[in-house]
Amino acid sequence: MDEHRVGLKPILRTVWAPRGERPRALVHPRYEWTYLSAFVCPEKGATSFWLTPTVSKEVFLLLLEAFAEEQGVGRDKRIILVLDNAGWHVDESEVPEGIVLDFLPPYSPELQPVERIWTLCDEPLVNRSFETIEELEAVLGERCVELSSMPEVIRAHTLFHWWPRGRTHVYH
């Protein structure tokens, strides 16, 4: 599980252009943000995306409760949730029954599989300018729905060669 901040400040990437011509990207940078939270099971390629206006301990607890309900976790079904050490992440005593938190070492985003899907999520936002955060969220939401139906693409980006397979389904 991880969070990704996107907003009205455009995401610019390199583009191809004919030799001798300079490509142009119209931008109108503003500093309004939304947050995309993603839960990913690398082995299955399953995803669960959530858009929130902010990140905080309270929002994180609400996300965990919604995710636990969505996944049907409880006494009989448990999920190990691997996450970073962000300040708003909570300790074990506050999480819903059935979710076990496993924190990554500090400053190790390369170990977090879900970090690798942010470029996929950003694709429809790249080199574009949005008038409102709602317009951006609509495009981002459509992209998340699209990615949710592409488990093989998610697996290809998140299932590391060293990942333990077949024993349990761990979400990030």
Express each pLDDT in 33-91 by its tens digit: 999 999 999 999 999 999 999 999 999 999 999 999 999 999 999 999 999 999 899 87
More confident residue, 17 or 59: 59
- 23, 26, 29, 33: CA torsion to nearest 10: -100
As a whole number, mean pLDDT of residues 88-113 equals 90
Beta partners for 20? Answer: none
In this prediction, residue 166 carries a pLDDT of 64
- CATH architecture of the domain with range 2-171: 2-Layer Sandwich (3.30)
In this prediction, residue 170 carries a pLDDT of 57
How far apart CA 65 and CA 96 sit, in angstroms, is 6
H helices of 10-148, in order, are: 57-71, 118-122, 133-148
Burial per residue of 112-127, b for 16 or more beta-carbon CB atoms within 10 angstroms, e otherwise: bbbbbbbebbbeebee
Give the end-to-end CA distance of the chain in Å, rounded to a whole number. 4
Residue 57's contacts (CB-CB under 8 Å, 6 or more residues apart) are: 88, 89, 90
Does the pLDDT of residue 169 top 80, yes or no? no
Provide the residue ranges of all domains of the chain, joining segments of one domain with +: 2-171
Q: What is the DSSP letter of 48?
A: E
